[in-house]
Structure 1
Amino acid sequence: MFDARIRPIIDPPLNRLGARVAQAGIGANAVTLAGLGLGLLAAVCIAVEAYLIALLPLLASRLADGLDGAVARASRKTDFGGYLDIVADFAFYGAIPLAFAVADPATNAVAAAFLLASFYVNGTSFLGFAILAEKHGIETDAQGEKSLFYSNGLLEGFETIGFFVLICLLPMYFAPLAWIFGALSLATAVLRLRTAHHLFHS
């Protein structure tokens, strides 16, 4: 919901930092993989119930997720780089709820399963929409320059990171928060489905 609004704020400093990273000879794919590694480290911290410590690699991973695109723009963008970025994002998004289930299976497992199922449905609606948008020549740069079409929705990257931060700060409330966020994620998928029906139904 807020990704397009915050892009004009975060892109200029990211682009400056990305140019410096590129000048140092570090490639965008390396930044993507570093971000994934940090995200998985955050998941490990959550799994052992070190929730506040998990915030450090979690936030660093999201910085890397924004930085890799800036590095690519300052050096060379590739389709594989965009593909690797979205795979790393989905791996990270799946690892965090799984980690909460591992940390406290009795309390969190069912809510985490529902959240992961909602991510699966929402992610499918996102990727399917991107394929059809490419087929129909529809483009947008509202979320910055991307390798594939980023359709907006109730929940986007900003909201998801905010949710992850919240459940790390309040792990005892993971289950109810996961049910709420999962429901909103499914609502996002439904709204995207309606938009796809409007644009692509023929």
Structure 2
Amino acid sequence: MLDRYARQIINPPLNWTGRRIAALGMSADTVTLIGLGLGLLAALMIAFGAATLALAPLLASRLADGLDGAVARATQKTDFGGYLDIAADFLFYGAIPFAFVVADPVANGVAGAFLLASFYFNGTSFLGYAILAEKNGHKTDAQGQKSLYYSNGILEGTETIVFFVILCIVPTYFAPLAWIFGALCFATALLRIYAAKQNYPT
């Protein structure tokens, strides 16, 4: 819901930085993998009980996630690059809740499983919608130039990052926050399925 507004603010500095990184010879895929590595480091730190300290690599990983697209735009966008980016994103989004479950499986186990199930459902609805949009020749740049169709919803990348930051700041509230966010993810997916039915009925 907030991605299109966040993009208006962050895209200019990201594109400027992306051009500088590209000039150094670093590829967009390399930036994607660096971002994934930082995200998995944050998950590892959370699993070992250092959630607050994990904020630094977590935010750095999301910065890299924005920069890989900027580097690609400054050089050459590839289908594989877009594929690698979305695969890395989904691994990151799953790793953070899993890390909180590992950190305290008794308190966080059921809520974490519910949250991961909601991510799975929401992610499937997102990718499925992208396939339908591509099949029907529909494109959007509401969230910036993307390698696949990005359908909007109640919860998008911006909201998820804010959610992860809040979890790192107050990890003892993981369970109630996970139930709330998971429910909103299910709502997002259901609304996206409804939109698909309205836009692609045949």
- TM-score with structure 1 length normalisation? 0.99
Whole-angstrom distance in 2 between the partners of 1:140 and 1:75: 21
Q: Map 1:42-53 to 2 at 5 A.
A: 42-53=42-53
The answer for the alignment partner of 1:163 in structure 2 is 163
The answer for the alignment partner of 2:104 in structure 1 is 104
The answer for the alignment partner of 2:29 in structure 1 is 29
Aligned pairs, how many? 202
The answer for the alignment partner of 2:76 in structure 1 is 76
Q: Map 1:169-184 to 2 at 5 A.
A: 169-184=169-184
Whole-angstrom distance in 2 between the partners of 1:67 and 1:28: 8
Whole-angstrom distance in 2 between the partners of 1:182 and 1:89: 18
Whole-angstrom distance in 1 between the partners of 2:74 and 2:37: 23
SS at match of 2:167: helix
Whole-angstrom distance in 1 between the partners of 2:64 and 2:89: 11
The answer for the alignment partner of 1:132 in structure 2 is 132
Amino acid at match of 2:75: S
* Deviation of the 1:8 alpha carbon: 1.3
The answer for the alignment partner of 1:55 in structure 2 is 55
The answer for the alignment partner of 2:186 in structure 1 is 186
Deviations 1:45-71 (A, max 9, x none): 000010111000000000000000000
* Deviation of the 1:5 alpha carbon: 1.1
The answer for the alignment partner of 1:118 in structure 2 is 118
Whole-angstrom distance in 2 between the partners of 1:59 and 1:125: 26
- TM-score with structure 2 length normalisation? 0.99
Amino acid at match of 1:78: T
Whole-angstrom distance in 1 between the partners of 2:191 and 2:93: 21
* Deviation of the 1:179 alpha carbon: 0.2
Whole-angstrom distance in 2 between the partners of 1:170 and 1:50: 11
Whole-angstrom distance in 1 between the partners of 2:140 and 2:199: 14
Deviations 1:52-97 (A, max 9, x none): 1100000000000000000000011000000000000000000000
Runs of 4+ in 1 over 2 A off after TM superposition: none
Whole-angstrom distance in 1 between the partners of 2:88 and 2:2: 21
Whole-angstrom distance in 2 between the partners of 1:9 and 1:59: 17
Whole-angstrom distance in 2 between the partners of 1:52 and 1:167: 9
Q: Gaps (5+ residues) in structure 1?
A: none
Q: Gaps (5+ residues) in structure 2?
A: none
The answer for the alignment partner of 1:20 in structure 2 is 20
* Deviation of the 1:6 alpha carbon: 1.5
RMSD after superposition: 0.4
Percent identity, aligned pairs only, is 69
